[in-house]
Amino acid sequence: MLGLLIRRLALGIVTILLVSVIIFAGVEILPGDACTAFLEREAQGKLLENCRSDLGLNRSATERYFDWASAAIQGDFGVSAGSKKSIATLVGDRLKNTLLLAVCAMAAGIPLALMLGIVSGLWRDKPADLVISTLTIFAMTIPEFVTATLLILVFSVWLGWVPGIVLTSANAPVSEFFPEILLPMTVLALVMIAHILRTVRSSVIETLSSDYAQMATLKGVPYWRMVFRHVLPNALLPTINVIALTIAWLLGGVVVIETVFNYPGLGRMMIDSISDRDLPVTQAIALIISSVYVCVNLLADLLSLVANPRLRTAQLQ
């Protein structure tokens, strides 16, 4: 068990290291560097020299990679090519705002997804399930920017209930983001609910038809007792991994949603940094997002190993 945990942890660290190499190498391989990208046409002579020495681009690539990576581990991502400000402070507020959005969406979405998933699994092919499953397909497949646009049209343009755009500045306290956060949060939650719900539903259906559930029924265990004691504990285990995958998706999906709603989060900062060709900022955000992805998945793996002893032996073989 301990060996397995350590192995998983090591794999996670290796993946993050590889990501950092990919991010760094990606910028190296592409034509130009952070300075030519940022200065564009003015990239010549003294201006270019100054920029390169500011960002330390005169040294070899391997040297710079190790400097960059070791500083990043300590939370220092260098300075932005544009504003020359420390990236760590620039990113800090944005990260907080994105996490606020994500946590709100999760707090609303996960319990609802579990509940609806169980309902549509237990009443499979009944009217309730058909309605839920159809809505799920819509929520899951329609692009986020389309859902966002429709929600803005209905709830802020036609009904006028909530603001359709976020005007709060990036470093405002959390409380000021309400009620502006409601619509972006709903879009995120909708997609999350759809993905989690689908897994819960099929997992419940599968467990209901398992030998031990049938056995319990044959033994005369009352239906609801069977559901709560035999079916749900087993059916909900695999959802841990799906929730992790969905959270990971959320970090990418949030980019589009933040842009639509003008939400001052990490995703919009990423788009801005790419449009401004501020490569050091892009690199830092990419590293943060992918590290969160790897960590969340790792955590889910470890949680399901702890919660489900059967996995341990399966993994060891």
Partner 1 sequence: MKTVLRDLLSRPSGAIGLFLVVFHLVLALVSPLIAPHDYRELSALSALQPPGADHWFGNDHLGRDTFSRTLLGGREALLVTGIATPLAVIWGGFLGIFFGLVGGRLDDVLMRVVDAFLSLPWILKMLVLIVTFGTGAGVLIPALAFFYGIPVIRVARAATHDVVARDFVEAARARGHSSMSIIWRELFPNVRDALLVEGAMRWSWMLLAFSSLSFLGFGVSPPTPDWGLMIADARGYMSFAPWGVLAPVIALSSLIIGINLTADALAKALGIDRVQKAPI
Interaction site with partner 1 (CB under 8 A): 11, 14-15, 18-19, 22-23, 26, 30-32, 137-138, 140-146, 149-150, 152-153, 157, 195, 198, 202, 245-246, 248-249, 251-253, 255-256, 259, 270-271, 274-275, 277, 282, 285-286, 289-290, 293-294, 297
Closest C-alpha among 138, 155, 150 to residue 197: 138
Question: Any idea what the Cα angle at residue 109 is, between residues 103 and 112, rounded to 5°?
Answer: 145
Task: Compute the distance between CA of residue 215 and CA of residue 264 in angstroms, rounded to an integer.
Answer: 54
Task: Compute the distance between CA of residue 168 and CA of residue 268 in angstroms, rounded to an integer.
Answer: 14
Closest C-alpha among 100, 55, 107, 68 to residue 243: 107
| Minimum CB–partner distance for residue 134 and partner 1 (Å) | 10
Task: Compute the distance between CA of residue 299 and CA of residue 296 in angstroms, rounded to an integer.
Answer: 5
| Minimum CB–partner distance for residue 191 and partner 1 (Å) | 9
| Minimum CB–partner distance for residue 151 and partner 1 (Å) | 11
Q: Which amino acid is at 266?
A: L
Nearer to partner 1, 186 or 259 (CB): 259
Strands (E), 66-152: none
Nearer to partner 1, 33 or 180 (CB): 33
Task: Compute the distance between CA of residue 211 and CA of residue 83 in angstroms, rounded to an integer.
Answer: 64
| Minimum CB–partner distance for residue 243 and partner 1 (Å) | 11
Nearer to partner 1, 38 or 177 (CB): 38
| Minimum CB–partner distance for residue 135 and partner 1 (Å) | 12
Nearer to partner 1, 11 or 73 (CB): 11
Which residues are CB-contacts of 78 (< 8 A; sequence separation ≥ 6)? 55, 68, 71, 86, 87, 280, 284
| Minimum CB–partner distance for residue 37 and partner 1 (Å) | 8
Preceding omega of 143 cis (within 30 degrees of 0): no
| Minimum CB–partner distance for residue 137 and partner 1 (Å) | 6
Nearer to partner 1, 263 or 293 (CB): 293
Nearer to partner 1, 4 or 221 (CB): 4
Nearer to partner 1, 104 or 251 (CB): 251
Are 60 and 37 in contact by the 8 Å Cβ rule? The answer is no
Q: Sort 137 into a burial class: Cβ within 10 Å, 0-12 / 13-18 / 19+.
A: exposed
Are 130 and 214 in contact by the 8 Å Cβ rule? The answer is no
